[in-house]
A = this chain, B = another copy of it.
Amino acid sequence: MKCKLLLDARGVKENVNVVVEDGVIKDIGNSREGDEVDCSNLVVTPGFVNSHTHTAMIALRGYYDDAELQEWLQRMWDFEKRMSSRLMRLGSEIAILEMLSSGTTAFVDMYFNPEDIKELAEKYKVRGFAGYTFLDSMLDPEEVARRQEGLRDSKHFKAIVNVHSVYSVEEDTLKLAKELAESEGTWIHIHVSETRKEIYDVKRRTGRFPVEYLRDLGLTSLVNAVHLGWVASWEIEELKKARATTHCPTSNMKLATAGAFPFFEMMEGGINVTLGTDGASSNNSLDILAEMKNAVLLQRHNYWDTRIKAIHAFKAATVNGYKLLGIKGGLLEKGYAADMVLFDASLLYPLTRDRLLSNIVYYAGQDAVVATIADGVIYSRSELVQRRRKLGEELNRELEKL
């Protein structure tokens, strides 16, 4: 496909062909082989990675918006005890369609239905990362581990170890999670240092801050640590060993956790910072375009200056996301995954090379996304909307049964 403009974290290219074969970018340049999509009026970016979400929680969108985290979480857990497996699956499928609508081609999920994620990842060719979730108040950890061991990777799915948080599991559970991650050759996805209450409770219980506690259990290098609104400077040092950290600005603001994710210090320190929407119950959208913008907005508000720029958010959502996943993706480059977003160039005015990144991060909404390509498969905007409409009606009917 001959494309008007290509944008990735390294910069802009004009009027180049992108050749895709078997889900991989075969060539970028003058070669015209395999041209299928007319991109002459499109802007192409890499697909985005949503590094932290709870897809099934679409069913909980708008259910309980006006509370801080602890109260909110209890409400979620109460609802989830009544949730049918049909409702979880519907939520996850709708979430994938919503994420594709805003250019997300890969995601990291924390919930209780990883087998659904596996099937849906294969169905839509998006990269799904999920696992059963350790959460001692709701689930027996031995049972979680047993199920997790039965979970197998497939082409588009990879099993990861989900641990809700250090405050919601026993130390033995954390040790079990570590063993599992190491024996299965995978990593751990965990909420860390999200609220002041968490810091206080963990400090009182263990004598350490949450990241210090992870360090002492030998977990740091295994984790994608999510939220981190309340970390100390020496914890940032320790997190340099982490696989990644994930910032969820919208969810943090909506739940009034009031912290300051140290975005700049982490990026400067070489930490692999990524972005996440969190779930539909605390965001309430799964729109990574909005998340890139909000990441810059919140950080500028926190730092009282403009040190965080569009490129930081764009890198976090593309190259850094794929690095977390261990997939060669996030750049428009020969040999990289054919996960891409096609934007309507006519809507990205003023359209200049200089302003392109800004227009994608600060201005482009879902309405400017013409199509998303996941592993070489093209999903048009209208197709995604049609599917969401249909499944949304099903979701409404399913919820009425509760």
Name the CB-closest residue of B to A296: B254
State in angstroms the CA–CA spacing of A51 and B304 once bound together: 25
Q: Is the CB of A258 within 8 A of B304?
A: yes
Residue-by-residue, is A374-402 near B (CB-CB < 8 Å gives 1, otherwise 0)?
Answer: 00000000000100110011011001000
The majority secondary structure among interface residues of chain A is helix
- A310 within 8 Å of B by Cβ? yes
Query: How many angstroms between the C-alpha atoms of A117 and B255 in the bound complex?
Result: 40
Look across to chain B and name the residue whose beta carbon is closest to the beta carbon of A283. Answer: B362
A283 and B344 CA atoms in complex are apart in Å by 20
**Within the complex, what minimum Cβ distance (angstroms) separates A194 from chain B?**
14
Q: Which B residues are CB-close (under 8 A) to A309?
A: 65-66
Output the least CB separation between A250 and chain B (Å): 6
> Which residues of B have CB within 8 Å of A254?
296-297, 300, 362
Contact A285:B365 (CB < 8 A) given known A258-B301, A349-B392? yes
Number of copies: 2
Known contacts A298-B301, A349-B395, A352-B399; 12 additional CB pairs below 8 A are: A58-B349, A62-B358, A63-B350, A63-B355, A68-B305, A256-B303, A256-B306, A258-B300, A280-B363, A285-B363, A344-B389, A347-B388
Instruction: Rank and list the top 7 A-B pairs by shortest CB-CB distance, nearest first.
Output: A62-B355, A349-B392, A62-B358, A253-B297, A346-B389, A284-B362, A256-B300
> Could you tell me if A358 and B67 are in contact, using CB atoms closer than 8 angstroms?
no
Q: How many residues of A contact B (CB 8 A)?
A: 62
Q: List 7 A-B contacts (CB under 8 A).
A: A254-B300, A256-B303, A294-B297, A298-B301, A344-B389, A347-B388, A365-B367
Cβ of A59 < 8 Å from any Cβ of B?
yes
Residues on B with C-beta less than 8 A from A351 are 392, 396
Q: A16 at interface (Cβ–Cβ under 8 A)?
A: no
CB neighbours of A363 from chain B (8 A): 61-62, 280, 284-285
> A346 contacts B301, CB within 8 Å?
no
Chain B residues positioned under 8 Å from A58 (CB to CB): 349-350
Knowing A355-B61, A389-B347, the reply to whether A306 touches B396 (Cβ < 8 A) is: no
A284-B358, A309-B65 given as contacts; is B301 within 8 A of A349 (CB)?
A: no
Which of B59, B304, B354, B393 is A346 in contact with, Cβ under 8 Å?
B393
B358 touches A253 (CB 8 A): no
Per the bound structure, the CA–CA distance linking A378 and B13 in Å amounts to 40
Q: Please, which residues of chain B bring their CB within 8 A of the CB of A285? A: 362-363, 365
Chain B residues whose CB sits within 8 angstroms of the CB of A305 once the complex forms = 68, 256
A139 to chain B, nearest CB (A): 25
Complex Cα–Cα for A350 and B287 (A): 17
Q: How far is the CB of A330 from chain B (nearest CB, A)?
A: 22
Q: Which residue of B has the minimal Cβ distance to A349?
A: B392
Q: Which of B62, B101, B253, B349 contacts A359 (CB 8 A)?
A: B62
State in angstroms the CA–CA spacing of A66 and B307 once bound together. Answer: 8
CA distance A396 to B349 in the complex (A): 7
Cβ of A280: which chain B residues have Cβ within 8 Å of it? 363
Question: In the complex, A322 Cα to B252 Cα: how many Å?
Answer: 32
**Residues of chain B contacted by A365 (CB below 8 angstroms):** 285, 287, 290, 365-367
Q: Are A306 and B349 in contact (CB under 8 A)?
A: no
The answer to whether residues A253 and B62 also contact, given A347-B389, A395-B350 and a CB cut-off of 8 A, is no
Please report the C-alpha to C-alpha distance between residue A278 and residue B393 in the assembled complex, in whole angstroms.
37
Looking at the assembled complex, report how far the CB atom of A185 sits from the nearest CB atom of chain B, in whole angstroms. 37
| Residues on the B chain within 8 Å of A303, using CB | 256
Q: Which B residues touch A101, using CB under 8 A?
A: 367
